Chain A
Amino acid sequence: ETGVTQTPRHLVMGMTNKKSLKCEQHLGHNAMYWYKQSAKKPLELMFVYNFKEQTENNSVPSRFSPECPNSSHLFLHLHTLQPEDSALYLCASSQAQGVNTEAFFGQGTRLTVV
């Protein structure tokens, strides 16, 4: 248990569906992140929120839409996805500033687009 909880753990969706991934952290952190882990590719940072403000969008297609209503919750809204979007989506949190901080990851949502 890392203090970062992701739901659902597994999701299968059609290309015309709309779904959302949820992440919640109980660590008192003020920065949250979405990462994508695909087979045969390095982990990719998608979005960064610091103090609820989006500070990084790593050229992610608009069919992925993040939302951070407060410092403890992060969502990833999905619509009209493609099969190549199938991957493990990992949420992480950390302190936004400071020297000796590190990211804590959730267990991920395994997404399959059919």
Chain B
Amino acid sequence: GDSVTQMEGPVTLSEEAFLTINCTYTATGYPSLFWYVQYPGEGLQLLLKATKADDKGSNKGFEATYRKETTSFHLEKGSVQVSDSAVYFCALPWGGSQGNLIFGKGTKLSVKP
């Protein structure tokens, strides 16, 4: 069945460091792909998305490119800030609805000043 594999954390970086969080997926067809972020004590917020192969989603300095060849959707940011400290989830929909989501296990990011 469809699945998402995400690098395990936690990840600790210094401010202004480069961030990569790996995500690979297994799916039938070519679903949309999402990154969600969960700040401490909050629910999930959509960070970015890509709806087809080679699309690049971007938001708040974060980027991820839908790579069909490698079935990957890695999250990157060139210079992280303390305010980026959160848990990041890679996800894909199934069953034809964008709300039926399969999530990765989440990667906790801590950014130190």
Asked if B51 contacts A48 (CB within 8 A), the reply is: no
Number of chain A residues close to chain B: CB under 8 A: 31
User: A1-32, CB under 8 A of B: which get 1 and which 0?
Assistant: 01010100000000000000000000000010
The one of B34, B45, B49, B105 that contacts A42, using a Cβ cutoff of 8 Å: B105
Bitwise, B34-56 to A at CB < 8 A (1) or not (0) is: 10100001111110010100000
Tier of interface size on chain B = 20 to 34
Closest residue on chain B to residue A107 by CB atoms: B43
Q: Is the CB of A56 within 8 A of B95?
A: yes
Partner of B103, one of A4, A43, A102: A43
Which of A35, A56, A102 contacts B98, CB < 8 Å? A102
13 CB-based A-B contacts, threshold 8 Å: A4-B43, A43-B103, A48-B99, A90-B43, A92-B99, A94-B97, A102-B49, A103-B98, A103-B101, A105-B36, A105-B44, A107-B41, A108-B43
**A contact residues vs B (CB 8 Å cutoff):** 2, 4, 6, 31, 33, 35, 41-43, 45, 48, 50, 56, 90, 92-108
